[in-house]
């Protein structure tokens, strides 16, 4: 894990010296994440440290009045 942190910090520090066309933090996160995935490195994830419960919220449409009438007398 310390090696991955060092690699991330090195990318963030050295990349602006090469180019300023891409954000160095984005390149560091993507490249280290891709390296962990491709090399199947044993790293701790958020799921290892805490249980992730729940799911996505349900789909709902907002209640919008489909008329131009004012719902009360204090609109204007």
CA distances from 63 to 56, 57, 66, 72 (A): 21, 17, 9, 17
Entry field: residues in the chain = 76
The answer to whether residue 17 sits within a structural domain is yes
Q: What is the pLDDT of residues 12-68, one digit of tens each?
A: 999 999 988 999 999 999 999 999 999 999 888 877 777 767 778 888 888 877 777
The answer to whether residue 69 sits within a structural domain is no
The answer to pTM > 0.85 is no
The answer to whether residue 64 sits within a structural domain is no
The answer to whether residue 60 sits within a structural domain is no
Find out whether 22 and 12 touch, Cβ atoms under 8 Å. Answer: no
Domain of residue 19 covers: 2-45
The answer to whether residue 32 sits within a structural domain is yes
Number of separate domains in the chain: 1
């Amino acid at each position: 894990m310390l090696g991955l942190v060092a690699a991330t910090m090195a990318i963030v520090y050295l990349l602006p010296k090469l180019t300023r066309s891409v954000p160095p933090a984005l390149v560091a996160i993507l490249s280290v994440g891709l390296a962990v995935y491709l090399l199947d490195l044993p790293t701790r994830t958020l799921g290892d440290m805490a249980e992730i419960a729940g799911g996505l919220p349900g789909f709902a449409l907002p209640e919008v009045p489909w008329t131009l009438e004012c719902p009360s007398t204090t609109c204007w």
